[in-house]
Structures are given as C-alpha cells and as structure tokens.
Amino acid sequence: SVFSLEKCSLGKRFIGLEQNYCWLNSGYFRGDYVAFDIEIPGNTVLTKHAKFGPALRGGRVITTGGNSSTGYNGFSARNAFDVRQFGKKALRHPQGTGGVYLYHTDQNNTTGSFSPARINGVPQQWRLGQITRVQIRVKMNTPERSNNAARKYIQTKFDKFNASKGYAKVPIGNDDRVFNDDQRFRLRFFRRNLPASIVPKDGILQVWHDGKLVLDRRNMRWRYDDAIHIDQFFYSASYGGNDSSFSTVKEEKVWFSDMAVSDKPLFYNPPR
C-alpha cells in the first residue's frame, strides 16, 4: 500500500538548510520504499557534498548534525551527492556523484557516511537538466537477541578503554556528543566490531536510478533495539560540510515530483 503522510513538521529551517519530516500514517515498518522524480537544472553547481530530497528515517532522535546512531536512538538515509578524491582508487568518486548519506550504527565517523551510486564499479553522477526517477529501499536488520545485549557488550569494552586512558567511568547513552573525540572514535570502533551473533548485519539499502540498481548493500545494521522502525518520511536539503568550500556558490533550485512511500516496490522490483 502507498502511505499518506501526517503530523508534518518543518523541523529545522534556516538559510542553507531545510529539514522537514512527516509521520507515516500506517504505523511502524521493517521495510519500506520511497520514490520520487528529481530534476537538477543544467546550470546547477554541485560542490563537495549536499543532502537533497526525500528520505526515510526512524527512531526517537533525528540522527543528523553529528548526533551519531547508537543503535538505540535512530537512523536516517538521505538522497545526496558527494565527491571523494583521496584514498584508495576503488573508494574515490568524482564531483556530483549520486548516492545516499547515512546515519547507522556501523558508520565510521561522527557526521554520517556516504554510499555512492555505482554500476559495475563506476560511480554514477547526477545528470543535470534531466529528470531522474529514484527509488530507495530500506529494510531493517534483525534486532539484538536480548534486551540491551549490544549496550552491555559495548559498555564493557568502553569501561576498559576509559580505565586504560584514565577517563572517568561513564554510561553510554543516546548522544555521543557528551564524550571527547577520543571516546567517540573508540565507541564507533566498538559498534562497527560488534559481533553479528549479538546484532546481525542483515539490513538492506538499495537504490535505483531510472530502473538501474546503483546501490545494493545487504549488510546494514540500522539498529540494535527492536523499538526502532521506519516511521518517518524525511525531507532534507542542504549543502554541507565543515568549511565554506562545501557551500553553494549561488542560489540553487532542485525540482521534485511524484513523491511516495510504500511497503511495496513503487517502480522497480528488488533483485532476487
């Protein structure tokens, strides 16, 4: 079924940033699709990175702005573009590469991670001046086997780390920003290395551009807690980064139409 949207909020809205979200009216879901048509005008300047357009999220907290996914607070998956010109060649992608910007439990940094669109290993850039039909699928992973099992495992590791550094023993919560950089880095390491026997890596992220599967990840760990589901349509639009080189150089417009959310494929069926 296609879901209608209700209880919409403007969320954050100021120069350079707009974040709106609407609750899905049919309850909570373990697997959903969001689809839309996007047209980026031909004179658009895609700088380093931006989030734009419809997305899916879930949980009590909007995980964005450096508020990492802890497995107990929430997750988000947003349509985006990005550039990476360093590191291993296989990890690089040119300016304007399409993809999804993610907050999930296995992210390797505080501010989220970008998964690029690729076909046969070749990064797919957004086509300017044309309409692209996009479908994004998010399917939840199996939650932790017993209540707070992941939290207890990570807390034990974190206590040993803090003791070795002379830091005070502190409980982990739902906001890593209360810790110093050293502690936040170590917490992300513990989450990425959480045994699959405690929380399986069987979630899914798939993206189609004009019928072509450009992103297919079947090892996602969106959550630890069974209380976290897909419960919001999330619209996010911002050029973003930690310095002015990420900023837009002029006023830009991007057009969206035919936006929909469903628990069934809207345009394209997933591969078997």
- CATH number reported for the structural domain that contains residue 245 in this entry: 2.60.120.200
- Let me know if residue 111 belongs to a domain: yes
- Let me know if residue 57 belongs to a domain: yes
- Let me know if residue 84 belongs to a domain: yes
Instruction: For residue 166, give the 3-state DSSP assignment.
Output: coil
pLDDT digits (tens, 9 = 90+) for 112-144: 889 999 999 999 999 999 999 999 999 999 999
Structural domain span for residue 50 = 2-142+200-262
Please give the pLDDT value at position 242: 67
Structure tokens at 225: 């807690």
In the chain, % of residues over pLDDT 90: 54
Res. 3: pLDDT tops 80: no
- Let me know if residue 152 belongs to a domain: no
Please give the pLDDT value at position 14: 40
- Let me know if residue 32 belongs to a domain: yes
Question: How many domains does the chain contain in total?
Answer: 1
> How would you label 91-112 residue by residue, b for 16+ Cβ within 10 Å and e otherwise?
eebebbbbbbbbbbbbbeebeb
Backbone angles phi, psi at 189, to 5 degrees: -65, -45
Backbone angles phi, psi at 151, to 5 degrees: -60, -45
- Let me know if residue 167 belongs to a domain: no
- Let me know if residue 268 belongs to a domain: no
- Let me know if residue 238 belongs to a domain: yes
Mean pLDDT score of the chain? 87
pLDDT digits (tens, 9 = 90+) for 175-214: 888 999 999 999 999 999 999 999 999 999 999 999 999 9
